[in-house]
Copies of this chain bind each other. A is one copy, B any other.
Amino acid sequence: MSYCLAIITQSGIVFASDSRTNAGSDMVNTCRKMYTLEKPGERVFVLLTSGGLSLSQSVMTLVQREFDQGSGLATCTTMYEAARHIGTLVRKVADLDREALERDNIPFNVHFILGGQIRGEAPGLYLIYPQGNPLQASEDIPYLQIGEVKYGRPILDRGVKYHQTTLEQATKYALISLDSTMRSNVTVGPPIDCVVYPTDDLKITLCRRFTNKDADLLEIQGQWERSLRRAITELPDISLTGTAPGFQAR
C-alpha cells in the first residue's frame, strides 16, 4: 500500500508521499513515490504515484523520456493538458499490461497525482485514475489523496481551507495526515518525501525527506499527540443521563 497527498491553497501546493512498497507481507521495501520535473522559470511538475510499482515505473519511464527529448510535459501549454497527457500514457501502459494482469486476476491499478505550474497559468492539481481520466482539485476540494486514503482524511476535512490555510500550515497538515496513516497501517511507511511549491516560483527549492528517526518529525509527532490529549481533556464533560426511549433491545 501507499499513501500520497497534495494540498492546494491560494499560495501554492504541498506534496507528500510515503515510501513503503510491498508485494505480499514477506516483501516490504522502500521506494520513492515522488518525482519532479522542471524547466526553471518556465514549468514545474511534481508527480506522486500509488498502485502497482511496475505500472507506475513504466508510466514514469515514458514521462521522463519524453521530457528529456523536449516533448510531452515539456511542451504542454496548460496543466489540464499535462494531466490529460499523463492519462494518455497510463492508457498506453494499460494497452501493454492490462490484459496479462487481468488474466491472473490482478487489477490494473495505478493512480497519479500531478501538480505544478506552467508560466502564465495558475498552479494546478489533478488526480489521474487508472482509466486515464483526470480529476481536478478546487477551492471546494483543496486536497487530493491516493493509496490508503481514509486514516489521514479527517484531519484534512477539519482543517484545510483553500483561502485561509497558509503553505506552512498545509505542510503540517500533510505531515500529520501521513503520520496518522503510518501509525494506523503498517503498509504505509517512512521515509516521507515532501515538496512545497509556492505559486509563481517556477522551480523546486523547498523539499525534504524525513526518515523515521528525523528529529523534527519525532518532535512534531510527540507534540501532536500531547496536543490531541490536551484537546480531549479540554472538551466539555458529557452528561449521560438515564435510559433513552426505545433504547433497550426489542
Query: Which residues of A come within 8 Å of B, CB atoms?
Result: 32, 34-37, 47, 60-61, 63-64, 67, 150-155, 157-159, 168-169, 171-173, 175-176, 180-181, 183-184, 193-196, 204-209, 216, 219-220, 223-225, 227-244, 246-250
Contacts and interface: CB of A to CB of B under 8 A. Distances in A.
Closest A-B pairs by Cβ, 8 of them: A150-B150, A227-B231, A35-B249, A154-B180, A206-B240, A209-B244, A208-B240, A153-B184
Contacts of A237: 168
B240 A63 contact: no
Task: Give how many copies assemble into the complex.
Answer: 2
Contacts of A243: 204-205, 207
A181 B150 CA distance: 9
A150 B47 CA distance: 26
Nearest to A220: B235
B238 A172 contact: yes
A184 B35 CA distance: 29
Contacts of A229: 158-159
Contacts of A207: 240, 242-244, 247
A194 B26 CA distance: 41
